[in-house]
Every structure is written in structure tokens, then in C-alpha cells.
A and B are shown apart, each in its own frame.
Chain A
Amino acid sequence: MLRAEQGDAVPPPRKARRPPEVFLTQRSDKMTLTTEHDVAEAVKHATGALRIKGGGTRDIGALVTGETLDVSGLRGISLYEPGALTLVAQAGTPVAEIEAALEAENQRLAFEPMDHRVLLGTDGTPTIGGVVAANVSGPRRIAVGACRDHMLGVRFVDGAGTIIKNGGRVMKNVTGYDLVKLLTGSYGTLGVLTEVSLKVLPRPETGATLVVHGLDVAAAVSAMSAALGSPFEVTGAAHADATYIRIEGFAASVSYRTKELSQLLTKFGEVEVLEGEAAGTLWDDLKNVTGLASLSGDIWRISVQPSAAPDMIAALPEGANVQLDWGGGLIWACVPEGSDIRPLPVAGHATLVRASEPTRRAVPVFEPQDQVLTTLTRGLRARFDPRGILNPGLMG
């Protein structure tokens, strides 16, 4: 965690916020849904708004009132072919179960989805459907792409209860429109995901992290840009209490690139190298934004082009604390409760990831869009969910 340059002293930590009650209501008389057919029936016969819930760990979005549609009963890996780098799972499958299966074959979800539980103070079991619905990625997004870039196929139930499939289980597929991308990151507002098909990647033999201390935001972004603009295949570039550059691969290659990058970065400051296990949970903590979790205040996630990060941060309200990822392109900011950081001073977009109920009612969680995109978005919602019952209003 890092304080914004103009900021005050770090505010005292406070107890992690609990999600509002309405999100936890679980009707006991509700039948457990275990199949896609169950979900389709439940949606078809719904008489009002539905709040779609996987593991319930990613309580992001405007407040939704409605009956809970719990898909965590749709579980299991239906296909895993390590030689084809593909995995197909039911939407309610715990992420941990998928990661364990992959680890057994020395593979992984390369986009490194963050676990929101620490930051949001939620408990529960993160599901793969939740990862996809929120397009959750981590530090490696900068090198290998976001969750959406690893999505090969979806099956979902639209707002009329119709089961629809798109994409498939092969790595290259341009057959028809890419509804896979459209559904990824749609937070359940276009359909209830029932099955997702993912591209997975080999786990590298080893890794190393280069650390530069004492850089201000502008210098850190320059250092990260220099590293990312090098041929040395950086797979993480973050800035919190120090500036961190990660490389991964075969041992000899990692040691060669460590040497080259250290040289490249010396002009920014002394370079410390954490080899192999020495980095410990560092990247997990950066990914999960652990450093900001215990601070009181609202948490914003801001996407900008890296060189605009210093201006963006300078414009944050007094008392802001920030952490940078994606070479400066992703800013996590903890700001005093209730502050609206919009309109942003630079091109990009911001999401209010954590805030109190009143703030979430007053401040749009997702970046408001211009008239044309708003019309297109509404049009798509009206087509996929004509009755407006799927997480209504969640994305604004």
C-alpha cells in the first residue's frame, strides 16, 4: 500500500465491511439448483427480479433487490485436456477446485483471478462463474490478457429462460458473433452463466521478482514501462510500498532476464532480486490488494493508460491511498468515504468496488457511458433479458 503523494497520514484500519444484508438472504424454502435445466426453469418461472449468486464473494455493483438465484450447486469439471490447454467447468465450481486440478498437471489459470474476499470482507467460496461474470484478472493480465482473453466458450440462460451456447472448447473460433466476450464481465445482467470453457496455460518452472525502493509514482511508472517495453517478458509490474517487476519461465532463462532487467532498472535505483520462493505471498497480496483492505474508506479500481497514472492519482481526494498494477495502468485507490472521484481527469474508467450502501446508491458503481453506448447497452439488455429480471440495475 502506498499513500497518494498529496495525501494525509494513513487512516486507522477498521473492521472489514460486511456486505449489506440483502445480499446474504438465502431463502431456505428454495430448491437447490444443480443443473442447467434447473436454472432455466427457475428463470422461466421467476415472477420478479433475480439476484444471481455464485459464491457470493464478489459483491460488486449497484444494489440489487430480488430473490436470490444460487448457482453454486452447478458444480464440477466436465472436461480437462492438459495437452489441448482446455478446461470446461460448471459455473458454480469453486475456483480452488479448478486450481487444484490444474496444479496436478502443472498448469494454471494464467490470468491470475484475484480473490475479492480480503478486500470486500466477504466470506464464501469463490466460483469460476463469478470470476467470469466479473471478468476478474490479476497482475499477469498485462502479459497474458484478462479473463475474457482466456474464455473459449459459455453456456448461459437468458432472461426468458432459454439456454444458449456460444464459442466452444477450441482455442481459435470465429464462428458467429463473440457472445463469449459479451457475457464475460456482464455481471449476470445478460444471462445466468451455467458452464464456462477456459484456456489454461503451463505453470512456469520458476520466477523472480525485481524490487526497486523509494520511487514516486511517476518514476515507478517510468521504471515499469521500461521493463514492459523490454524484450524480457515481464509478467507483473506493480507499485505499492516498492516497485515490483516479475519474470517467470525456465530457470536459466529467468536468471538471464533477471540480470538484463536489473541492469536496465539500475538507472531508477538500487535493484533487489527475490528469487524463486523468496517473494513468498507478495504477488498474491498485490493481486488481492491486501495492502488497502484494512483501511477505512471507499475502494476504487481505475483503468488508465500507464503514463496518465500520476495525473490521475494527483487528482484523487486528499487522504487517498493507492496501489498500482499493470505497469501503472490499473490504480487501486482507497479514498475517504463518499467521495466521488468522477469525472476522471484523464481518459479511462473507474469502478467503485467497495463502499457503504448509501454511497453505492449515490455514486454510480460503473463508469457512466455516453449516450450512444448507453443506448446500445440498453438495447442488448432488452434483447437478452426482456423482462429486466437479471440483476436489474447492477451495472447501472
Chain B
Amino acid sequence: MDMPAPSPAVLARKAQIVERLQGVLPATAVIHSESEVRAYECDALTAYKCPPLCAVLPSTTEEVAAALKICHDMGVPVVPRGSGTSLAGGALPTADCVILGTARLNAVIETNYEDRYIRVGSGRTNLSVTGAVEAMDFFYAPDPSSQLACAIAGNIAMNSGGAHCLKYGVTTNNLLGVKMVLMDGTVTEIGGAHLDAAGLDLLGLICGSEGQLGVVTEATLRILRKPEGARPVLMAFNDNEVAGACVADIIKAGVLPVAIEFMDRLCIETTENYAQAGYPDSEALLIVEVEGSDAEIDEQLALILDIARRHDPVELREAKDADEAARIWLGRKSAFGAIGQISDYMCLDGTIPVSSLPMVLRRIGELSEEYGLKVGNVFHAGDGNMHPLICYDANKPGDLELCEAMGAEILKLCVDAGGCLTGEHGVGIEKRDLMTHQFAPQDLEAQMAVKDVFDPLWLLNPAKVFPLDHSEPRRIAAE
């Protein structure tokens, strides 16, 4: 994965840059020693590492603005960072960049149950947003599996999803407003506690812009009352295709489960060995969860099980109590960890129309044979967001490259099937060079034109999202 060569002029001025940043930030908020900046050298795409020039950890929007203004005036690239759990390399530094970490912007600023929103510092972790309103039986709906660690800042930048987004939507559907600092230090607010911000939908544009348009310092988020209860069922099938057809039938029947999760044989077997959830021996497994009162759950599950029975299941398993429900989820929740135990892996997240699920799974199987790399499939089936996990050996020379090549083929397959490169993890550096497979040059040009408006010098996270040769003229012109 290429990154642009660091600017020698910026590298040469490290001492001055650090000194000026120290002038506007507390001493502990500017990290510049070679050993300490290493903590910021990568995100969760750990195959790529590069220590930044320095890192700053501002505690207020004003400090963010002051730091950005200095970087702007001195021509220093800035890479915003939440908790560094991006799987796409979104927070990967370059040697000439300042990492701007939001970890200290983590306060709960306001909660309002009557109007159902919470305002937080963007560095607050996803789970602790729900933590702040749980006592009142409210929750923040988007729930990425990384929710214990990932920050709202990263969620907004990536427009992250979660297991329950079939019903509740992803980050963009739950975001009401932001306070944001532009690269030149200008502070602005978009939206607020009311619905539908005025004017053009800039909020919708910021969400998912991968830290390239501005640094979000505060967010107003919609909170919801917790449902009375939730319960999963597990269904096992001897054919991927049949499981896929069952998903479509459930959706067509008018039940809207909160989650429909899918696992294939490799994932089932691996998680069985790892977590002993007691999953049936089968080709494909669905976990479907519904919400409501006990009686409502019974009613919905009866309908869902009826549909499943028509698809000749190997097994249908209901949860009689909380313990059994937890066991149904246990394997799914430990799937990534289980695969991680047996192998290094790369997690893709292309999305496809649900109707092409059987075809895409079949083709992934063929690619797995061709490349000689195992692939496990575990994903959000209700919305077609795949998570093929390609297993490789990081210590074997050439294996990572082989894995990346195969990953690229799978992602192109998703696009060709009518889907897209990434459903929730973002483009970052990982899928940057595949963008031309999904977008024509004028489509990319229109997106880059947006960045021109927000960040004319192309200093904010400049080497991400767009293929380097497409963004190069702009990055060079700005230097």
C-alpha cells in the first residue's frame, strides 16, 4: 500500500512545529518523543505502520482550533484520530503528520430525555454514550462490535454500523448535530437538538467523510428508550443458498428483526472449537433477533420460525431464557476472536444486494480454492453487509500480498453484483485504490471537489479515500 513521501520541509521543521503547538496546548497534550509517538503508528489495520511527526491531545474545541490553525499556517498535514480501531487504515499516520487525538474530548455535555438526545465530546466511546443514559432505560442505537473502544468521532467519520442497524439505522441516521473545526481553525456548528438541520445536508456529508473535511469535537446524538425485551432464534441449514432465501422471505413477510446474522461452515466450526456455543453441524447458520414484550416476541418468532420451516432447516433453536439467548449469541460474538486464534486474517466488508448472496458466496468459495487461502463468512445478512475473513500467515513472505489480491477480487465481485466496496468500515487506505472500480472519474472528481471546499490545501487526512494518482494534483498544488 503506497503512501505519499513525507514532505522534507515539514520533517525539517519538527522542532518549530512542536514548539508552536506547545504554545497553545498543555505540556502533556503534545507528544513528540520518538518512543511515545509510536503509540499512534497504526490503527486496527496493523499491517501498516508509520509513526507520526507528533501527536496532540486537545481537551477543548478551542484547543483543537488553535492546533489546527498552527498546522494550517505551517502546511502540516493532520490525521484526526478517535480510538484507532479503524479496520481500513483511516487513522494511519504519515511521517510528516500531526495526529490529532480526541480522547480527552470525552465529556457528557447535556442529556435530555424529554427531547431524546445527548450531547457529548466526540472522543467519548460508543458504549459509554449508552452508559450515560442507561440508568434512565435509554440507549444509543448504533452498536459496532468495537463499541467498548471506538469513539463517537470515529463512528461519525466512518458512518459506522452495528448488529442492530437493520432496525435502527447506522450513525448518520442517529446523528442530529456536530460542532466541528475546519482545517484553518474555523469553528462551526451544524444541526442541533432539532430534526433535519437547515440548508444543504452538510451533516449527512460530514458523516462518513473519514476525517477529511473537518475535526468533529462534539456530537448531538438521538437516544431511544430501550425495548422491553429482545430474544434471538438460531436456524441451521445445509445450504448457503437456502439460508439466503430464508432471509429474503423473512424480510418480505413484514417482520423487521433487529438483527439477522449469518455464519458459514468455517466460522461455525472454528467458533465451536473456540467458544463451545453448541452450534449444530451445518453449512449455514442464521441468528435472528426480535424485540418487544414477551408476547410480541412470541408472535414475531412464531412467524419467523414458520418461514424457516419451509426451508428445510437442519435445526431451529429457540431460547427459553436469558442464558440460552446468550449461548445463541456467544458463537457469533466470538467469531472474529475465534478466527484470530487460528490465523491472521483480513476482514472485508463489501455489501451486496441480498438477492446475490448465493452467487457471491459461491464465487468466494472458488476464489478461496484458487488462492489457496481459507475464507470464513460471518455477516449482517439482513442488509447484505458481508464480512469475509480471509486467513493468511503474516510471517510467510508474500502471503499478505496474496491475501490483499484476493480481497480486492472479492470486493470487485461485490461491486459487480450491484453492491459496494465497503458497508461500514470505510475506504481509508485499504480500499482507496479500488475506488475506480466502483466510481467513474467524474464521480470521484465530484467527491474531491467537496474536499476542495472544506479543506482547500488538502491537509486533513489527505492520503485516504481517493486513489493517490487521482488526489495527487490537488495534494501537490497545495504544497
A64 within 8 A of B: no
Q: Kindly list chain B residues whose C-beta atoms are within 8 Å of the C-beta of A190.
A: 200
B435–A83 CB distance below 8 A: no
Q: Kindly list chain B residues whose C-beta atoms are within 8 Å of the C-beta of A330.
A: 195
Q: Kindly list chain B residues whose C-beta atoms are within 8 Å of the C-beta of A384.
A: 446, 449
Q: Kindly list chain A residues whose C-beta atoms are within 8 Å of the C-beta of B446.
A: 158, 162, 164, 166, 179, 383-384
The stretch among B22-30, B281-289, B322-330, B423-431 that forms the contact with chain A is: B423-431
A170–B452 CB distance below 8 A: no
Counting chain A CB atoms within 10 Å of each CB, which of B113, B137, B173, B444 scores highest? B173
Counting chain A CB atoms within 10 Å of each CB, which of B205, B227, B442 scores highest? B205
B169–A165 CB distance below 8 A: no
A6 within 8 A of B: no
A176–B192 CB distance below 8 A: no
A252 to B225, alpha carbons, bound, how many Å? 21
A170–B192 CB distance below 8 A: no
B200–A172 CB distance below 8 A: no
**Nearest CB of chain A from residue B304's CB, rounded to whole Å:** 12
A347 within 8 A of B: yes
**Nearest CB of chain B from residue A255's CB, rounded to whole Å:** 10
Mask for B449-476, Cβ within 8 A of A = 1, else 0?
1111110000000000100000000000
B207 within 8 A of A: yes
Question: Which residues of chain B (405-454) have a CB below 8 Å from chain A?
Answer: 418-427, 431, 435, 438-440, 442-444, 446-447, 449-454
B240 within 8 A of A: no
B419–A168 CB distance below 8 A: yes
Tell me whether A175 and B252 are in contact in the complex, defined as CB-CB below 8 angstroms, given that A83-B354, A228-B116, A307-B115 are known contacts: no
**Nearest CB of chain A from residue B157's CB, rounded to whole Å:** 10
B353–A148 CB distance below 8 A: no
A83–B249 CB distance below 8 A: yes
Q: Kindly list chain B residues whose C-beta atoms are within 8 Å of the C-beta of A377.
A: 199-200, 202
B423–A173 CB distance below 8 A: yes
B112 within 8 A of A: yes
B114–A173 CB distance below 8 A: no
A231 to B228, alpha carbons, bound, how many Å? 6
**Nearest CB of chain A from residue B437's CB, rounded to whole Å:** 10
The stretch among A15-23, A26-34, A199-207, A267-275 that forms the contact with chain B is: A199-207
B265 within 8 A of A: no
**Nearest CB of chain A from residue B69's CB, rounded to whole Å:** 14
B384–A84 CB distance below 8 A: yes
B104 within 8 A of A: no
B116–A170 CB distance below 8 A: no
A232 to B421, alpha carbons, bound, how many Å? 37
B38 within 8 A of A: no
Please give me the residue from chain B that is nearest to A146 by CB atom.
B196
Q: B454's contact among A178, A367, A369, A376, by CB below 8 Å, is which?
A: A376
Q: Kindly list chain B residues whose C-beta atoms are within 8 Å of the C-beta of A174.
A: 158-159, 208, 422-427
Tell me whether A85 and B251 are in contact in the complex, defined as CB-CB below 8 angstroms, given that A186-B200, A369-B199 are known contacts: yes
B201–A182 CB distance below 8 A: yes
**Nearest CB of chain A from residue B426's CB, rounded to whole Å:** 5
A106 to B353, alpha carbons, bound, how many Å? 20
Counting chain B CB atoms within 10 Å of each CB, which of A184, A303, A307 scores highest? A303
Tell me whether A373 and B199 are in contact in the complex, defined as CB-CB below 8 angstroms, given that A177-B208, A178-B159 are known contacts: yes
Q: B225's contact among A179, A229, A366, A395, by CB below 8 Å, is which?
A: A229
B292–A253 CB distance below 8 A: yes
**Nearest CB of chain A from residue B367's CB, rounded to whole Å:** 20
A2 to B352, alpha carbons, bound, how many Å? 48
B273 within 8 A of A: no
**Nearest CB of chain A from residue B377's CB, rounded to whole Å:** 16
Q: Kindly list chain A residues whose C-beta atoms are within 8 Å of the C-beta of B112.
A: 305, 307
* Chain B positions near chain A (C-beta within 8 angstroms): 112-117, 137-138, 158-159, 161, 165, 169-170, 172-173, 182, 186-188, 190, 192-205, 207-209, 225-228, 247-249, 251-256, 292-293, 295-296, 299-300, 303, 351-355, 380, 383-385, 418-427, 431, 435, 438-440, 442-444, 446-447, 449-454, 465
* Chain A positions near chain B (C-beta within 8 angstroms): 81-86, 105-106, 135, 137, 141-142, 145-146, 148-149, 158, 162-166, 168-182, 184-186, 190, 201-205, 222, 225, 228-231, 249-250, 252-253, 256, 303-307, 326, 329-330, 347-349, 366-367, 369-370, 372-373, 376-377, 379-380, 383-384, 395
A-B pairs with lowest CB-CB distance, top 4: A181-B204, A83-B248, A349-B198, A172-B423
